[in-house]
Structure 1
Amino acid sequence: MVEAENTPENADTGVSEPQEDLLSDPQSLLDEQKKAFADLNDQYLRLAADFDNFRKRTARERESITTRANERFAVDILEVVDNFERAIKSDEAHLREGIVQIQQLLAAQLQRHGIVPIESLRKPFNPQEHEAIAHVLSDETAGTVIDEVSRGYRMHDKIIRHAKVAVSKGNEKNTEV
Structure 2
Amino acid sequence: MSKKDKTEELEDIISDTDVNTEDQTTVEEPADVEDELSVEEKLQEELGKEKDKFLRLFAEFENYKKRTSKERMDLFKTAGQEVIVSLLPVIDDFDRAMKELAKSEDKEMFKGVELISNKFKETLKNKGLTEVEAKQGDSFDAEIHDAITQIPAPSKKLKGKIIDVIEKGYTLGDKIIRHPKVVVGN
Structure 1 length-normalised TM: 0.51
Structure 1 gaps, min length 5:
1-20, 81-93, 170-177
Q: Name the SS for the 1:34 alignment partner.
A: helix
C-alpha distance in structure 1 between counterparts of 2:73 and 2:38, whole Å: 52
Three-state SS of the structure 1 residue aligned to 2:184 is: strand
1:142 deviates by 1.0
The code of the aligned residue for 1:161 comes to: R
1:51, 1:127 → 2: CA distance? 43
1:104 equivalent among 94, 105, 118? 118
Where 1:143 maps in the other structure, the secondary structure is: coil
Give the direction of change, closer, same or farther, for the CA distance of 1:45–1:157 in structure 2 (3 Å limit).
Answer: closer
Matches within 5 A, 1:46-57: 46-57=54-65
- Residues matched between the structures, number: 129
Aligned to 2:135: 121
Q: TM-score, length-normalised on structure 2?
A: 0.49
| Structure with the higher fraction of residues in helix conformation | 2
Give the greater-gyration-radius structure (CA).
2
| Matches for 1:147-162 after TM superposition, within 5 Å | 147-155=164-172, 159-162=176-179
CA distance in 2, matches of 1:43, 1:58: 23
Quote how far apart the aligned CAs of 1:146 are. Answer: 1.8
Q: Does residue 148 of structure 2 align to residue 133 of structure 1?
A: yes
Identity %: 22
Change (3 A) 1:64 1:119: closer
Asked if 1:31 is matched to 2:48, the reply is: no
Runs of 5+ consecutive residues of structure 2 not aligned to the other structure: 1-29, 88-105
RMSD: 4.0
Q: Kindly report which structure 2 residues correspond to 1:66-105, keeping only aligned pairs within 5 A, or say none.
A: 101-105=115-119
**What secondary structure does 2:181 align onto?**
strand
Residue 64 and residue 154 in structure 1: after superposition, are their counterparts in 2 closer, same or farther (change >3 A)? closer
1:163 match: 180
Change (3 A) 1:63 1:144: closer
